[in-house]
Amino acid sequence: MTYPIIHVPDSVSSQLEQLGTKAKFWYWDENGNKVLFKEGRPNTGENWAEKVCCEICRLLELPHAEYDLAIWKGRNGIVTPSFVPADGRLIHGNEVLAKIHEDYDETRRFQAKQHTLRRASAILTSIGIQPPIGWNPPEFVKDTLGVFSGYLLLDALVGNQDRHHENWGLINSLEHGIRLAPTFDHASSLGRNERDETRLERLNTKDYGRSVVYYTSRARSGFYRSITDTHALTTYDAFLEISKLRADACRYWLMKLEHLKYSDFVHIFNEVPDAIITDPAKHFALKMLEVNRARLLKLE
């Protein structure tokens, strides 16, 4: 049994937003749900990476956006139902940071040195900001920053290099107040951009500098330690930094990770249709998960 591929009707493209050659639009499905279709970039694994990360979130019990593989007019992508209630709106991190810091450049998505983990943490510990809608925090995750620490553990596990200031945020609604949004947009993970030839080389090389271990250690978060730093934190270091602020929550997420086995990851990948992912991509991503899991569990 493999994950289903949702067939998006041809007729729903009236709200089409073209991003170069990439299609992205909202539509209403047959159940009246507002759903986003997003096409993965050609010759990448963005679609399967998004789906795999969604399933890993489910195993970790992280609040997350739901993703399913999809196809529209012969174009492969994913679909994700809106997690924003009808009376609410999503406020991206850059919008919040720009309101607090007058000099914050909210238009710069990449290499935004003002996007520091300390600044984001200060927002997430503000009075009145609650955990995601419909998600009940476990005992050791006492606040919103504790929830967010789980997002950073996910990033370190899957090598997500796209946690920029528009890929996290808050939901403001009349009914629910101000809440942390679930984690979303994980397509830049698991080596999804590499060519199969490169994957096979890294899997088989004896050169540490070309190995999967070295490759995973260099994954960069969208967060900086300070505004004077020249490089963003690695995904591992971002989790390490937040663990200094929310040690109990981070230990909880590490415990959840420890309970996941390699076979759990294998099962997820075996559910991805063969037409969506190549064998080298699957083996490379699994090796990344194995290496990153081992590295993170050394923190316990």
For the segment 92-111, the average pLDDT, to the nearest whole number, is 90
Q: d(Cα 277, Cα 50) in Å, to the nearest integer?
A: 12
The verdict on 39 and 91 lying in the same domain is no
* pTM (two decimals): 0.95
Q: Which two tokens stand for residue 236?
A: 């591992």
The verdict on 54 and 112 lying in the same domain is no
Q: Name the domain count of the chain.
A: 2
The set of residues, in sequence order, having a beta carbon less than 8 Å from that of 47 and lying 6+ positions away, is 40, 69, 76, 77, 78, 187, 276
The verdict on 42 and 188 lying in the same domain is no
List pLDDT tens digits, range 182-208. Answer: 999 999 999 999 999 999 999 999 999
Mark which of 46, 64, 81 sits at the end of a domain.
81
The verdict on 121 and 250 lying in the same domain is yes
- 81: part of which helix (H) or strand (E)? strand 75-81
List pLDDT tens digits, range 230-279. Answer: 999 999 999 999 999 999 999 999 999 999 999 999 999 999 999 999 99
Phi, psi at residue 96, to the nearest 5°? -65, -45
pLDDT at 19: 43
The verdict on 68 and 128 lying in the same domain is no
List the strands of the sheet with 177-180, edge to edge.
88-92, 169-173, 177-180, 129-130
The pLDDT of residue 14 is above 70: no
Scored b (16 or more CB within 10 A) or e, 154-172 reads bbbbbbbbbbbbbbbbbbb
The verdict on 93 and 230 lying in the same domain is yes
Cβ pair 239, 160 in contact under 8 A: no
Q: d(Cα 49, Cα 244) in Å, to the nearest integer?
A: 29
Would you place residue 20 in the very low, low, confident or very high pLDDT band (cuts 50, 70, 90)? very low
For the segment 48-67, the average pLDDT, to the nearest whole number, is 98
Q: Which domain holds residue 73?
A: 5-81
The pLDDT of residue 139 is above 60: yes
For the segment 109-123, the average pLDDT, to the nearest whole number, is 92
List pLDDT tens digits, range 150-170. Answer: 999 999 999 999 999 999 999
